[in-house]
Amino acid sequence: MKADFKHWFASLPAVPGMLACGHRQPNGKCLGHGDDKIYTAEKISRLLKQFAELHEPLAAAEFSPRWTTWAFEYGLLRFVPRPDKGLLMLLVSPETEAARELDRLAEEFLARPLK
């Protein structure tokens, strides 16, 4: 994985309002950052796997989503799939800088080369 991408991904937790972020690489390996008590690396990996399963019917329904946002009472969960099977997950508090930056971060992920 490119050092540039690693650096970008490592910078995500510093965005105010970012609760957790995860990245599933095309080879299936997962990376995650989050609050160790609530959003552990294991939980982030599980979420990425669950969403990858949910993404299949959406992709099959002719939509080809650029990204998907799950709006909960106390948080927004953004999943961004790439054509190379890479997947980004961002979990943010609503009405924070991280929430405002979701689209920009998703666009950056889609545009950034992994290799």
Partner 1 sequence: MAEEKKVEAEPGVANAPDAPDLRGVSLPDVVHLECVGRNSSVVELFQEHSLGRIYIDQGQIVHATCGEISGERAFQKLFTITAGTFELLEYEVPPERTINRTWEFLLNEVLRQREQFARRAAAGEDLSANGENTPPAQAAWTAEILICSGAGEIFYHWQCAAPAERMALLQKISAGAEKLIPNLQLGKLDRVEVRLAEGRVVLQPRADRLVFVRLSAAKK
Taking residues 80 to 109 in sequence order and writing x for each that binds partner 1 by CB under 8 A, - otherwise, the string is: -----------x--xx---xx-xx------
CA–CA separation, 109 and 81 (whole Å):
9
Specify the residue for token string 């980004």: 88
Taking residues 47 to 76 in sequence order and writing x for each that binds partner 1 by CB under 8 A, - otherwise, the string is: x--xx-xx--xx--x-xxxxxxxxxxxxxx
Is the Cβ of residue 4 or residue 56 nearer to partner 1 in the bound state? 56
Q: Strand, helix or coil at 92?
A: strand
Q: Are strands 75-81 and 18-24 parallel, antiparallel or unpaired?
A: unpaired
Q: Would you say 58 and 65 are in contact if contact means Cβ atoms under 8 Å apart?
A: yes
Is the Cβ of residue 12 or residue 44 nearer to partner 1 in the bound state? 44
Taking residues 4 to 33 in sequence order and writing x for each that binds partner 1 by CB under 8 A, - otherwise, the string is: ------------------------------
